[in-house]
């Protein structure tokens, strides 16, 4: 079955086809574990439907600072809740990881990530602050369609272990249950980025509400993300539960949902890492493209 043609990019945004070979100055990987069943509210972007296929397992919260990519430097916050049950293009039932929420600081990577891999990227504002005790404070805020920094929805303090040496590490060392050997992303639902910065499904937006239209996609896409660094060590992590206004939960889980997503207090810190995102395997229901 021939692959569907790739949508033309918006004016001023060049197409950057996969694979991508990237360089990251800082990468934090924090494990999480959620029970199977329905996901907490707002762990799914409006671009993705919670289809009830979540099977639990180990998930990951990731923070990356890209210094080199085909789309230039940008920052990224990723939520992978765990495993999802899928039927691949050959009719086989499998479990695969899925990115259900992801924020980036660049427009070019937002469009290309959605088109190349069905990764539901949303724009946000990032702030990184070094503290006197060797920790790093990470803050992510909503970004309006006019590029204005909005409400703070994510705040973490992360401190690499000071008492352990930095060692070589590759994600290929991880067992499949913990790694990113395969991420399968379902088609994306068309969305509107509203004036507030929130995303809403086209059908769910209030009548007459204006926003930037982000086209959806029509096929499943499976890819792998591999990471390696010669300077890897553990880290402590604390993520604050924010008590923002009614909009805060629109970007990130809050209340009970936040506490369910709360990651383990330790994770992995990778310095000067190489990250490769493979070309996607694409299929519709009934067969691979």
> Splitting the chain (289 residues) into consecutive groups of 10 residues, what average pLDDT does each group show?
57 88 97 85 78 87 97 96 91 92 90 91 92 96 77 93 93 66 86 59 49 70 94 95 57 76 86 96 69
Q: What is the pLDDT of residue 259?
A: 77
Query: What's the pLDDT score for residue 192?
Result: 63
User: Does residue 124 contact residue 140 with C-beta atoms inside 8 Å?
Assistant: yes
Q: What is the pLDDT of residue 256?
A: 73
Thinking of the domain 20-288, which architecture would CATH place it in?
Answer: Beta Barrel (2.40)
Q: Is 177 left (phi over 0), alpha (psi -120 to 50) or beta?
A: alpha
Domain boundaries in the chain? 20-288
pLDDT for residue 205: 47
Q: Which of 284, 275, 265 is nearest to 66 (CA)?
A: 275
pLDDT at 73: 98
Pure H helices in the chain: 107-117, 248-251, 256-261
| pLDDT given at position 289 | 45
């Amino acid at each position: 079955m021939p692959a569907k043609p790739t949508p033309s990019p918006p004016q001023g945004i060049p197409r950057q086809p996969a694979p991508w070979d990237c360089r990251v100055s800082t990468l934090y990987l924090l494990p999480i574990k959620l029970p199977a069943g329905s996901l907490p509210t707002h762990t799914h972007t409006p671009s993705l439907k919670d289809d009830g296929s979540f099977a639990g397992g180990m998930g990951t919260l990731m923070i990356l600072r890209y210094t080199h990519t085909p789309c230039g430097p940008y920052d990224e916050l990723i939520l992978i809740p765990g495993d999802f049950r899928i039927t691949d293009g050959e009719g086989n039932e499998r479990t695969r990881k899925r990115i259900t929420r992801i924020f980036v600081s660049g427009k070019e990577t937002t469009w290309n990530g959605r088109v190349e891999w069905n990764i539901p990227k949303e724009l946000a504002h990032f702030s990184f602050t070094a503290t006197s005790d060797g920790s790093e404070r990470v803050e992510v805020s909503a970004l309006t369609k006019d590029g204005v920094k909005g409400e703070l929805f994510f705040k973490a303090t992360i401190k690499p272990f000071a008492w352990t040496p930095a060692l070589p590490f590759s994600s290929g060392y991880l067992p499949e249950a913990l790694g990113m050997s395969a991420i399968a992303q379902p088609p994306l639902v068309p969305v509107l980025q509203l004036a507030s910065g929130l995303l809403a499904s086209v059908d769910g937006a209030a009548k007459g509400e204006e926003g930037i239209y982000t086209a959806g996609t029509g096929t499943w896409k499976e890819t792998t993300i591999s990471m390696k660094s010669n300077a890897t060590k553990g880290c402590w992590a604390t993520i604050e539960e924010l008590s923002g206004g009614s909009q805060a939960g629109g970007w990130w889980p809050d209340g009970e949902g936040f506490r369910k997503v709360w990651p383990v207090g330790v994770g992995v810190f990778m310095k000067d890492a190489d990250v490769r995102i493979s070309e996607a395997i694409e299929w519709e229901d009934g067969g691979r493209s």
